[in-house]
Amino acid sequence: MKCRLSETLPKTAEWVYEIKFDGFRGLAVRNGDSLQLISRNQNELGPKYPAIVTALRKLPYRQLVLDGEIVALDEKGRASFQLLQRAGEIGGKGALFYYAFDVLNVNGRNVTALPLMQRKALLKAVISGKSDSIRFSDVLPGSIDELTVGMQKMGLEGLIAKKRDSRYEPGARSGAWIKFKWGHEQEFVIGGYTDPEGSRPYFGSVLVGYYDGAKLTFAAKVGTGFNTKSLKSFYDRFQTIGTDKTPFANLPERGGVIGPSQMRVCKWVKPLLVCQIRFTEWTGDGHLRQPVFLGLRDDKDPREVVKEVPG
């Protein structure tokens, strides 16, 4: 079940609110001895986060389907996407948790038709006290104004609003779940990179965009958010998906960030990699202001990446 992006949060009593985690969404599917951790685009996340799989196996159910978020917490207890990236690397360390916020099936019983608050109560009973790494994402107490102030002070990126009586609708974006962000952050597709300058190794910036129908539209040149290790890792990956032609439908730009002269120093890659970018705002000419690279998203299909516009 998916969330709609909104510019405002509903304030009536039919809605409840949860933390919007900055992590990887994943369905935990237990069927006998088989346990899978499945991303939104059907990728298997278990090999990347074996500690979460081990913790999920401690739940005493032979058949179980949970919906939740794989999260890495910083020293202040805040979800950090950059920490999550490092925790998923070979030998990486980090405080990893699976925050379960919904349940779809328990011991073969499909519970998606139950109202949200009944599913929440069932979920809490299912996971309570079984493993510290598997945590219950509860609804938040207080008014929406109090929550917004508190969440912003903590440095969290947003809130999720859900209708109390909503059923679980797999694959749907019905409007019964709403996401609200007070910062700007979303996924983009990598379509190329520039040569390095000065003492920087491997590459200078990545070129990112989003799909507008069938066309990949250029949005930004992103050069911050990398370290030497990540520069090499991404550069090596780019060499396996290189192409001679730009995948962006709107390049070169007349008087824009990537004009004809800039095109000569760009290298192109097939639009197969999705990344997370934080930025301050969209500019009038459709670019990102002050973008920062946060990491790759293996849980997203590039074709699903569009410009997020609040409804």
- Which listed residue (11, 20, 58, 76) is catalytic? 20
For the chain, the structural domain boundaries read: 4-181, 184-304
Average pLDDT over residues 191-203: 92
pTM of the model: 0.75
CA dist 29 and 59 (Å) reads 12
Average pLDDT over residues 120-131: 94
Per-residue model confidence (pLDDT) at position 90: 43
Active site annotation includes 20 = yes
Determine what percent of the chain is predicted with pLDDT higher than 70: 97
Same fold: 4-181 with 184-304? no
| Residue of higher predicted confidence among 180 and 273 | 273
Average pLDDT, rounded, for the chain: 91
Predicted confidence (pLDDT) at residue 37 exceeds the cutoff of 70: yes
Give domain 184-304's CATH superfamily. Answer: Nucleic acid-binding proteins (2.40.50.140)
Q: Indicate the fold that domain 4-181 takes in CATH.
A: D-amino Acid Aminotransferase; Chain A, domain 1 (3.30.470)
Per-residue model confidence (pLDDT) at position 292: 93
Q: What is the pLDDT of residues 238-289, one digit of tens each?
A: 999 999 999 999 999 988 889 998 898 899 999 999 999 999 889 988 999 9
Q: What is the pLDDT of residues 49-63, one digit of tens each?
A: 999 999 999 999 999
| Residue of higher predicted confidence among 91 and 68 | 68
